């Protein structure tokens, strides 16, 4: 019999998962998985629980929580040679990864995907060989917003918590930092508002930020926003919402497998929404590192839809 380990964050999103646990366990058992679970108790616990699950030879780990929990599970799994498959039940506030791969946001439907069993190898990013990310690495003052939003505030307010914090941070956040960013054979040197190194197309709820991101091509989408004023910044953010920022002069938009950042100032890196360490930093794309349960039919359907829309436009 196959074995599944559920690792869930009882505090993520609106704290709703726990009461559904018995039915989730029952459905996985019915689907042929001997299933056990672990509730995380603090930051870093999901990584330790995932490492333990790999050592105990589980066939599958189901991460239940937001992007932070998924990041921790992927971090625990990624260090091993033989890695179990990973499923996701999104229960967070933003759920960027789930959004990018079209995993539905109801427990039942997300579980349907896992039980159906379609998987796909996806890329994983690693910073300085030991900090992992599955969605994005970012730097620049404005990107620090995500981890300055207290967990309780996210539980009560959901995504609104980010907007409130954003407005509060606005005057100090819109600030450029001198950086040297090497990406594959190229270099950008100058004042940077922020850079994003994305694995998927969906970041902070912006689904069109990297519209051509491919989940398993071994490449990051690198977006560098050069120094600009607050009005330009707001204008560019609204362009990014519509996906029309790619050719703007203030934006560098490239694909790269390796990105390194150095600075004479201070750059804190944000990995999947949490603080991940400071520059200097080297980001490497680990091609097709983790096998994830995803709704392949739905992904194809959306891809075809997008192709049709862009042909019509």
Ligand X SMILES: Nc1ncnc2c1ncn2[C@@H]1O[C@H](COP(=O)(O)OP(=O)(O)OP(=O)(O)O)[C@@H](O)[C@H]1O
Q: Is 144 considered catalytic here?
A: no
Looking at 75, 78, 94, 285, which residue binds ligand X (CB under 6 A)? 94
Asked whether position 92 contacts ligand X by CB under 6 A, the answer is: yes
Asked whether position 1 contacts ligand X by CB under 6 A, the answer is: no
Asked whether position 270 contacts ligand X by CB under 6 A, the answer is: no
Asked whether position 276 contacts ligand X by CB under 6 A, the answer is: no
CB of 151 to ligand X, least distance (A): 6
CB of 301 to ligand X, least distance (A): 25
Asked whether position 200 contacts ligand X by CB under 6 A, the answer is: no
Q: In terms of Cα–Cα distance, which of 91, 43, 45, 39 is closest to 65?
A: 91
Place of tokens 């490239």: 254
Residues 28-87 binding ligand X (CB under 6 A) are 40-43, 45, 65-69, 72
By three-state DSSP, how is residue 308 classified? helix
Task: Count Cβ atoms below 10 Å from residue 186 Cβ, excluding itself.
Answer: 12
Catalytic residue among 274, 303, 311, 312: 274
What dihedral do alpha carbons 65, 67, 69, 71 form, nearest 10°?
150
CA distance 97 to 199: 9
CB of 205 to ligand X, least distance (A): 10
Phi, psi of 43 (to 5 degrees): -60, 135
Residues 150-169 binding ligand X (CB under 6 A) are 151, 154
Q: Are 140 and 268 in contact (CB under 8 A)?
A: no
Asked whether position 12 contacts ligand X by CB under 6 A, the answer is: yes
Would you mind telling me the total number of residues written for the chain in this entry?
A: 313
Asked whether position 95 contacts ligand X by CB under 6 A, the answer is: yes
Task: Count Cβ atoms below 10 Å from residue 98 Cβ, excluding itself.
Answer: 24
Q: Which chain residues interact with ligand X by CB under 6 A?
A: 9-13, 40-43, 45, 65-69, 72, 92-95, 151, 154, 273-274
Catalytic residues: 274
């Amino acid at each position: 019999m196959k074995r599944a380990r559920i690792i869930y964050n009882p505090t993520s999103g609106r704290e709703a998962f726990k009461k559904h646990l018995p039915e989730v366990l029952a459905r996985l058992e019915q689907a042929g998985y001997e299933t056990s679970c672990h509730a995380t108790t603090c930051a870093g616990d999901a990584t330790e629980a995932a490492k333990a699950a790999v050592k105990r030879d589980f066939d599958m780990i189901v991460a239940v929580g937001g992007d932070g929990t998924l990041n921790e599970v992927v971090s625990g799994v990624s260090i091993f040679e033989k890695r179990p498959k990973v499923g996701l039940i999104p229960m967070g506030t933003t759920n960027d990864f789930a959004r990018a791969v079209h995993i539905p946001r109801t427990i039942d439907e997300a579980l349907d995907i896992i039980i159906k069993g379609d998987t796909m190898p996806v890329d994983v990013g690693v910073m300085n060989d030991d900090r992992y990310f599955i969605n994005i690495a970012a730097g620049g003052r404005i990107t620090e917003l995500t981890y300055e939003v207290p967990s309780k505030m996210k539980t009560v307010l959901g995504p609104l918590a980010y907007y409130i914090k954003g407005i509060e941070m606005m005057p100090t956040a819109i600030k450029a930092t001198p950086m040297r960013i090497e990406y594959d054979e190229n270099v950008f040197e100058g004042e940077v508002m922020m850079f994003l190194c994305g694995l998927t197309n969906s970041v902070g709820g912006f689904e069109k930020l990297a519209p051509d991101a491919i989940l398993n091509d071994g490449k990051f989408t690198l977006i560098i926003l050069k120094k600009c004023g607050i009005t330009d910044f707001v204008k560019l953010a609204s362009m990014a919402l519509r996906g029309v920022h790619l050719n703007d002069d203030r934006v560098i938009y490239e694909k790269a497998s390796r990105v390194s950042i150095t600075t004479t100032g201070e750059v804190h890196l944000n990995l999947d929404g949490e603080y991940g360490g400071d520059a200097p930093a080297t980001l490497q794309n680990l091609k097709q590192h983790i096998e994830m349960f995803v709704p392949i039919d739905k992904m194809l359907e959306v891809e075809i839809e997008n192709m049709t829309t862009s042909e019509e436009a």
